[in-house]
Amino acid sequence: MARGILLIYGIYLLCWQADGNENNKYDDYLLLRLYPRASKEIDVLNNLEKSIEDIEFLKRSRSFNDTTDILVPPNKVPLIRDLALENGIVFEVKENYGRSFEPVDRTPRRRILRGFDVFEYHSYAAMQEHLDILVKRHPELISLQTLGESYQRRRVRLVKISSNPKAGNPIIFIDAGIHAREWVAPAMAMYLVHRLVNDPEARRDLAGVDWYILPVVNPDGYEFTRASKVNRLWRKTRSKNTVYGCFGVDGNRNYGYKWAVSGVSKNPCDQETYAGPKPFSEPETQMVRNVMMEYGKRIKLYVSLHSYGQYLVYPWGYTGDFLPKEWQKLDSLARIVSNAVESAGGQPFRVMSAGKWYPAAGGSDDFAFGAIGVPYSYTMELTDGYEFLFPERLLHTVFPQYYEGFKAFAAQIRNEFPPTRHKKKISSVAH
């Protein structure tokens, strides 16, 4: 009898690993994509959260050519449909949302045989393994700095790419994956690393700038979203709140600049925007802060990769009431980058201050800009139209387009900021 049960359990496990067909609460959920066309309609939608339980906001809209996307259990659909009809809000529905989650390849053997494909979503371990391989192949260009450990003790490493590390070049610091479910962001960071070290033409992009890339800020959350389809939409870290027993802090509400003044939840059991018990409560955000403090004034550009919505936003994020005095520089570089992506066949970005989109404090972009003094600081929301489930088969189209945007970023930094350590004069070398 016991053997019979074990056998059934074994078969169940095999099936689960092979195609990820485990039960998923989102299987029957519906995605509602609503098209507000006036401020009143936007207000109605933003208040939905307060009036109807169990709905999950995937994206808010602040402008009229943008959608509000919410996930809704089937029994709540009539409520929202009535409300939308009452207020004249146009919407479309996608049924059985969870069934569209792509299965996760959890079989390491296939990966080893095939090598690392930059146009696929990988496990954290596979990414780390690939970085080690790149360092062995290109020690003259790439090195790794261990920053510490995540809450669940995964080693976190910063990738440094430089063709002249002694020059004191301005640094472009890019991170990704603070939000667990935004898989396209770490994949883009790995693509950047790949292009910068493997593409002979990228030597031009390395001239006069150093690239520091942190591909996965929140590896615990990332692995959690890969472990099961039920977890696929997890956003936060995985630290356990000792008082409430709930898991996770929103890393992008946890930075210590104007912490928690807007757009956060104080409830540790909130699934989305819990700001943490205090600023920098999370080892993951501490590690990013430490990189910013260590390289401080040399960092001239900070880009935090997220998804989705095709936004490129700059400080302030904590308020939409006013802009920093340097906003025009931030805005015009963002538009140059957006144009570069568009010229490469990509979608342009929606460019604005983060707080005009929706105010939310404790973001890494505000900390870099306000506390560290990084002159150009952005959050880049990659892709649009697939929510957090950007299909793997399309990665090869969008990554090269985004890369053109990063080239435009680098051109600006190279031209505006000279290296800090100039070559020694010949006379002093001779003596």
306 forms part of the interface with ligand 0X9 (CB under 6 A):
yes
CA distances 219 to 109, 153, 223, 229, 393, Å, are: 21, 10, 6, 17, 23
The single residue of 41, 223, 381, 387 carrying the catalytic annotation is 381
- In the complex, the smallest distance separating the C-beta of residue 275 from ligand 0X9, rounded to whole angstroms, is 11
- Residue 417 near residue 329, CB atoms below 8 Å: no
Binding-site residue total for Zn ion (CB under 5 A)?
3
> Cα separation of 70 and 44, whole Å?
13
Q: List the one residue from 34, 42, 354, 382 that touches ligand 0X9 (CB under 6 A).
A: 354
Structure tokens at 42: 């936007």
Compare residues 179 and 226 and give the one whose CB is closer to ligand 0X9.
Answer: 179
370 forms part of the interface with ligand 0X9 (CB under 6 A):
no
> What number of other Cβ atoms are within 10 A of residue 104's Cβ?
18
306 forms part of the interface with Zn ion (CB under 5 A):
yes
- In the complex, the smallest distance separating the C-beta of residue 313 from ligand 0X9, rounded to whole angstroms, is 5
The DSSP code for 230 is: G
Compare residues 306 and 414 and give the one whose CB is closer to Zn ion.
Answer: 306
- Tell me the one-letter amino acid at 185: A
* Residues in 174-203 at the binding interface with Zn ion, rule: CB under 5 A: 179, 182
179 forms part of the interface with ligand 0X9 (CB under 6 A):
yes
Compare residues 163 and 353 and give the one whose CB is closer to ligand 0X9.
Answer: 353
Quick check: is 272 catalytic? no
Residues making up the chain, counted from first to last: 431
3-class secondary structure, 213:
strand
Q: Which residues pair with 160 in a beta bridge?
A: 143, 212
- In the complex, the smallest distance separating the C-beta of residue 381 from ligand 0X9, rounded to whole angstroms, is 6
- Tell me the one-letter amino acid at 416: E
Compare residues 111 and 181 and give the one whose CB is closer to Zn ion.
Answer: 181
223 forms part of the interface with ligand 0X9 (CB under 6 A):
no
Q: Which of 63, 66, 67 is nearest to 32 (CA)?
A: 67
Q: List the one residue from 363, 370, 375, 405 that touches ligand 0X9 (CB under 6 A).
A: 363
Q: Tell me which H or E stretch contains 149.
A: strand 142-149
Catalytic residues: 381
What residues make contact with ligand 0X9 under the rule CB under 6 A? 179, 182, 252, 306, 313, 317, 354, 360, 363, 365-366, 379, 381
